[in-house]
């Protein structure tokens, strides 16, 4: 039982770690991937030149110019273009001043919806970025994305690498520590679960209590001893009383008359 619980806890810990790592990787990949499609047919030279000029002119504009253009297009009802200008302004505030554009390696393609997408590298104070802009030549709508170049450690400073490493280490340690605390609490609860199971087993195994015996009846009182008359003493007493009465009346107790014999003077038997 305990071995099974330990194996289950280890499996839960491993699954939690893998899920946290995969979630971080998926989040980073989704964050670095551009939302604007860059897959299409290569544009002709003239169109490529026109699109590149428009993309560069918007990107290198100063903040005041971007604010003025944003407010103007927003007042005209062109929210898409106003939003694109705001993205460029926020990127400059976050990544710093632009130091260079990789125009030579820029790529301009035409998408199936007849819009054009230009992508090129741009160097900011914070490092290399990827500048992607989609332009609709018919309506004038525009979409812009400026993303960090993922997986290019050479473009990052030592401070940036240490900062990123510290953040990832803190996230990993925090996740593992949280999972370990949860598993420790779960293991501590196993003792109470085992006690609860044992109590249930004991309750099932214990026989039903025997009914209490009826109280024993109180012993009957012993009969009082019957005093037998001493017949011998009564008989003697009767005999004494009878003898006394007989002596008084001059008769014996058995009915015989007792007479005293007196000697008469001059009896005849004496003469013979």
| pLDDT tens sequence for the chain (272 residues) | 555 556 655 656 666 655 555 555 444 444 455 688 888 888 888 888 898 988 888 888 888 888 898 899 889 888 888 888 898 889 888 888 888 888 888 889 989 888 899 999 998 888 888 999 898 878 878 888 888 886 555 555 566 678 878 888 888 888 888 888 888 888 888 778 878 888 877 777 766 566 666 666 656 555 555 455 555 566 777 777 777 777 666 655 555 555 555 565 655 544 44
* Residue 42 sits in the same domain as residue 89: yes
Report yes or no on 23 lying in a domain.
yes
The tally of domains found in the chain comes to: 2
* Residue 133 sits in the same domain as residue 66: yes
* Residue 167 sits in the same domain as residue 183: yes
Round to whole Å and give the CA distance between 85 and 142.
9
Report yes or no on 169 lying in a domain.
yes
Q: Please give the backbone phi and psi of residue 270, each rounded to the nearest 5 degrees, phi first.
A: -70, -35
- Is pTM, for the whole model, over 0.75? no
Report yes or no on 93 lying in a domain.
yes
Report yes or no on 162 lying in a domain.
yes
pLDDT of amino acid 27 = 47
- E strand or H helix that includes residue 80: helix 79-95
Report yes or no on 86 lying in a domain.
yes
pLDDT of amino acid 219 = 60
* Residue 98 sits in the same domain as residue 189: no
Report yes or no on 95 lying in a domain.
yes
- Residue 93's domain spans which residues? 34-156
Report yes or no on 102 lying in a domain.
yes
* Residue 16 sits in the same domain as residue 118: no
CB 143 within 8 A of CB 80: yes
Report yes or no on 250 lying in a domain.
no
Round to whole Å and give the CA distance between 52 and 57.
8
């Amino acid at each position: 039982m305990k071995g099974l619980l330990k194996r289950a806890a280890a499996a839960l810990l491993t699954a939690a770690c893998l899920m946290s790592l995969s979630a971080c990787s998926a989040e980073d990949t989704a964050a670095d991937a551009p939302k604007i499609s860059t897959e299409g047919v290569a544009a002709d030279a003239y169109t490529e030149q026109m699109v590149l000029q428009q993309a560069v002119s918007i990107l290198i504009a100063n903040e005041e110019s971007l604010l003025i253009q944003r407010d103007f297009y927003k007042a005209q009802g062109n929210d898409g273009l106003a939003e694109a200008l705001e993205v460029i302004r926020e990127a400059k505030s976050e990544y710093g001043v632009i130091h260079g554009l990789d125009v030579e390696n820029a790529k301009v393609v035409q998408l199936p919806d007849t819009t054009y997408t230009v992508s090129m590298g741009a160097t900011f104070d914070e490092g290399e970025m990827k500048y992607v802009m989609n332009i609709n030549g018919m309506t004038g709508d525009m979409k812009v994305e400026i993303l960090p170049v993922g997986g290019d450690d050479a473009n990052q400073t030592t401070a940036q690498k240490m900062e990123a490493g510290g953040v990832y280490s803190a996230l990993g340690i925090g996740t593992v520590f949280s999972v370990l605390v949860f598993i420790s609490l779960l293991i501590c609860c196993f003792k109470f679960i085992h006690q609860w199971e044992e109590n249930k087993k004991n309750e099932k195994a214990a026989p039903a209590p025997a009914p209490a015996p009826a109280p024993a009846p109180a012993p009957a009182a012993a009969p009082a001893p019957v005093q037998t008359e001493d017949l011998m003493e009564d008989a003697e007493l009767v005999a004494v009383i009878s003898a006394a009465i007989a002596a008084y009346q001059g008769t014996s107790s058995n009915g015989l008359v007792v007479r005293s014999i007196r000697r008469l003077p001059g009896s005849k038997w004496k003469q013979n």
